[in-house]
Structure 1
Amino acid sequence: MNARTPLVAPVAGLPRPARPSLCVVVPVHNEIDVLPLFLERLGAVLTMLPVVPEILFVDDGSRDGSLAWIERAAVTDSRIGLLQLSRNFGKEAAMTAGLDHAEAEVVVVMDADLQDPPEQLPRMLDAWFQGNDVIVMKRRSRNGDSPGKRIAAAAYYRLLARVGEIPIPVDVGDFRLMSRRAVLALRTLPERNRYMKGLFAWIGMPQVQLEFERPARAAGNTRWPLMKLIGLAADGLTSFSVLPLRFAGVAGMLAACFALVMALVYAGKTVLFGESVDGFPTLIVSIFFIGGLQLCGLGILGEYVGRIYTEVKQRPLYLRQSYRPARQQSDRLERQSV
């Protein structure tokens, strides 16, 4: 059976259980420096919450000892589950894998670098008890980011909000809480080019935004270099808008206008000063006009065709190497089945 199709149709309007099961999905890629502190802070918060907790670490091809550390921690902490992917598939695929394996009534997605503070979980759970299916965490600030990255991120989120076919919240990352109903809805979305922020917004459902101060990384270095960020931004624009295709036409018109200006400049220069090379103005203007029009259009078309090519191949989003659910969660599911 297709893992991306829910076995039971989501049902709205059900009362919230007093002590729900909660799964925290944590994608991990080379985070050995921060994992001990992350588990300490998250564990302390989960102990205070009225939930049956599970911490599902998704190892996305770590090479720094993160996997071995999680395996050791799971021996002494029954709340820890581990999903190991066969290689590094990227954060979007790792989040998808975690959501595919999360069976709790409440699911939280958060990063291990502590830029998503675990101390926000009580506020998020309170909002879920009030009947919301999705609780998104909006960054009030971006501490630890360079000024250039802050400006670029702010501009990108606002551009995406304007050109996208669906409203995607501004300054909101992947840190969020979802009901079982929302998770099942996400599992029905099969696309390979996954921009999770857009998919989270696409499913709709009752939701609320909570603001928080985003701290700097607690340890280690960012796993998002410039080229990966540019690729993610391109995924967001091409997955939820066709405006770049229309931009190709606009860019071609601008190139034609610029070519016209150059033609007038060369004509004036020829009249005033003469031209030593016959035919050069006409040739250069024609090359610029045709080349600019074609290259701009082909580049944008290539982005969309490349994503169509990826979808047509129908390769799985990720390959699972091993999966060990939390012992505490396994015991709960066994009691429910009896």
Structure 2
Amino acid sequence: MKQVAIIIPSHNEAENVPLIYQAVQTAFADIDGYAPLFWYINDGSTDTTLSAVQTLQTTDPDVHYIDFSRSFGKEAGMYAGLSTAKADLYVIMDADLQDPPSMLPEMIQNIESGYEMVGAARVDRTGEPWLRSFFSNMFYKLINRISQTQIVPGARDFRVMTPKVVAAILDMSERNRFSKGIFGWVGFKTKYLPYANVERQHGETSWSFTSLFRYSIDGIIDFSDAPLTFVSWLGGISAVLSLFALIFIIIRAAIFGDPTAGWPSMVSIFLFIGGLQLLAIGVLGRYIGRIYLEVKHRPIYIAREIK
């Protein structure tokens, strides 16, 4: 039997742990020649997620876990699972059952037919707040326009990968990780299967609108230098406009005089130029901040226990 590592990052998913386990087992009943090897990554949960995994472990020796010393985030959880598990195929999926395990037979069948990575992409966002859906769609359009790394709209982290793909992903050991971009950057023969949105079974998502917005900004910075190009052009345009404004002010003062000594015009120009400078410094700061975090070479995660 070939082993398939099922990597499940989990943060406060105590109720969903046994449900995703059973759903995956049911899916593998329709997959000949493959057996699941479960790897739960407990990402600093404050509920009984770890206890739920340990309960499963007492009845199934193919259940394993990595217990983080604190919450390092889903990206670190995926990296930890991929770097620790040893298997013939690798699967990443969420614990909340929004990634349908029933798709696994078709995904693995596509791997057997020659694909090296098979992912899932949502074709709708039914049940999701409209504002989140709107900004998510805008994000995919924006990043695919400004980045050379293309990301399939609606693509999930849910996917099946061969060891060759996983090795390439692990070679990208950057601390600030945006896996959707990494999956696209490594290439390989890839296929995405469409599916309708599935709402989570229990609990509440730890992804707020603010955290998703920050995550999207990280993705743009990690896979595009377009913001730097934008502020460079903006600086050049503002310099040209300022020059024209200066010429206009000089001509006006020479012809009509300047009873107010020119302070309104100067204040406006100073505020305009100052605002552009702060914008440029802010964008540069984001990139420099990423460099600062990378050169520290801190570990992507710290495990309290691997079992």
- Structure 2 residue identity aligned to 1:27: P
Separation in 2, partners of 1:124, 1:252: 48
Hey, what does 2:198 align to over in structure 1? 215
Aligned residues with identical type, % of pairs: 34
Contact preservation (8 Å) 1:29, 1:59: yes
- Work out which of the residue numbers 263, 266, 270 in structure 2 matches 1:280: 263
How far apart are residue 73 of structure 1 and its match?
A: 1.5
Structure 1 stretches of at least 4 aligned residues deviating more than 6 Å after TM superposition: 257-267
Give the superposition deviation at 1:276. 8.2
* SS of residue paired to 2:171: coil
* Structure 1 unaligned regions, length at least 5: 1-18, 325-338
Name which of structure 1's ranges 251-260 and 89-98 shifts more when overlaid on structure 2.
251-260
8 Å Cα contact 1:128-1:135 kept in structure 2: yes
Correspondence for 2:26: 44
Cα shift at 1:100: 0.4
- Structure 1: distance between partners of 2:139 and 2:51: 37
Tell me, in whole angstroms, the C-alpha distance in 1 between the residues paired with 2:237 and 2:275: 9
Which SS does the other structure have where 2:140 is aligned? helix
Pick one of 171, 175, 178 that aligns with 1:188.
171
TM-score, normalisation: structure 2? 0.91
TM norm structure 1? 0.83
**Paired amino acid for 2:57:** A
Give the whole-Å Cα distance in 2 for the aligned partners of 1:152 and 1:139.
Answer: 15
* Partner residue, 2:275: 292
**Cα deviation 1:67-113 (Å, max 9, x = unaligned):** 11111121112331111111100111110000001211110100011
SS of structure 2 residue aligned to 1:55: strand
Aligned residues: 305
1:62 corresponds in structure 2 to: 45
Distance 1:265 1:303 in 2: 36
Unaligned runs of 5+ in 2: none
Asked whether the 8 Å contact 1:252–1:296 carries over to 2, the reply is: no
1:141-220 equivalences under 5 Å are 141-220=124-203
| Residue 121 (structure 2) aligns with | 138
State the match for 1:245 in structure 2.
228
1 CA distance for matches of 2:75 and 2:237?
A: 36
> Which shifted more, 47-56 or 174-183?
47-56
Larger relative contact order, structure 1 or 2 (CA cutoff 8 Å, min sep 6) = 1
Q: How far off its partner does 1:253 sit?
A: 5.0
- String of CA shifts for 1:11-39, please: whole Å, max 9, x gaps: xxxxxxxx421111000011123223222
2:55 paired with 1:72:
yes
> Of 278, 289, 307, which aligns to 1:306?
289
> Aligned residue for 1:319?
302
Q: Tell whether the 8 Å contact from 2:18 to 2:56 is kept in structure 1 after alignment.
A: no
SS at 2:40 equivalent: strand
Contact 1:144 1:217 in 2 (8 A): no
TM-aligned CA distance change 1:39 to 1:262, over 3 Å: farther
Q: 1:15-30, aligned counterparts within 5 Å?
A: 19-30=1-12
8 Å CA contact 2:25–2:36 kept in 1: the answer is no
Give the letter aligned to residue 214 of structure 2. G
Q: Aligned partners of 1:199, 1:105: CA distance in 2, in Å?
A: 21
Measure how far apart 1:47 and its partner are: 3.0
Pairwise CA RMSD of aligned residues? 2.6
Letter of the 1:301 counterpart = L
Matched-pair contact (CA < 8 Å) for 1:142–1:216: no
- Matches of 1:313 and 1:118, distance apart in 2: 38
SS at match of 1:214: coil
SS in 1 for 2:292: helix
**In 2, Cα distance between equivalents of 1:22 and 1:128:** 12
Distance in 2 (CA, whole Å) between partners of 1:307 and 1:91 is 18
1:104 aligns with 2:93: no
**Cα offset for 1:180?**
1.1
SS in 2 for 1:71: helix
CA 1:40–1:119 in 2, change beyond 3 Å: closer, same or farther? same
